[in-house]
Amino acid sequence: MKKPIIAITSDISRFSSMSSNDQAIDYAPRDIIRAIYKVGGIPIILPSPTYVEDTNFEALLSTFDGLLIPGGPDIDPKFFKEEAIPEIGATFYERDQFEIPLIQEAQKYGKAILGICRGIQAINIACGGNVYQDLAKQYSNLKIKHRQSPTEGSFPTHKIKVEKDSRLAKIVGYESFVNSRHHQAVKDLGKNLKITATSSDGVIEGIESKNSDRILAVQWHPESMWQVFPDQLKLFEDLVKRAGN
């Protein structure tokens, strides 16, 4: 039986070391890679090209069955038609210009998609939505801490409520206790998406496709939790299952 191939978009490390020979390195989080292996998928990493015009999306999409968009830096607000506010963090333009059309093309080809943290925001933007550039500055109902540092990122710090008619509820239940490492969040929802989870102060914590099982995305980091909280591994298991269908 063929194992589904799961493509993971990458970030770039500019920290020099002896092994990298002072070169920038494309990478994906190890805990995501291990989770995909553990649930029976084969992970591959997709580096961002310098110029998106260099990408043959049709050929690229033929090499994998599912797409995982992990966490990372803030998304350049250019991609949702805004100017950067002073509170925005570091952005990675090469990843933005590759990842957003990649998500759009993956939808056309019916690929299964999972978004994590930045990933939920990238998916929403790819579908025509936008994000809060900074919750503390732009979200007036903010009542809990969504950027849990200096608390260790693997610890759950707040509850979420999950919609009963959602795919997410079948995976994690109607309520879950999750970690929280973000200062941005989905604002106006993109086309053909629905909200599946929220925090107690109303911040969107989960979205998925309205009319299919192709998209599921969460604001927290299940890759940091599944080693101690096995129910979080089900999100990766679900992606591999959807990718195999």
pLDDT digits (tens, 9 = 90+) for 144-185: 999 999 999 899 999 999 999 999 999 999 999 999 999 999
**Amino acid in position 224:** S
**Residue 64 near residue 102, CB atoms below 8 Å:** no
pTM reported for the whole predicted model: 0.95
**Residue 56 near residue 101, CB atoms below 8 Å:** no
pLDDT at site 27:
87
pLDDT at site 17:
59
Could you tell me which residues are beta bridge partners of residue 9?
A: 46
pLDDT at site 25:
81
pLDDT at site 235:
98
Low-confidence ranges of the chain (pLDDT < 70): 1, 14-22
pLDDT at site 21:
62
pLDDT at site 50:
85
Sequence-distant (≥ 6) Cβ neighbours of residue 204 within 8 angstroms = 120, 185, 186, 189, 195, 197, 198, 219
pLDDT at site 22:
64
> What are the catalytic residues?
117, 221, 223
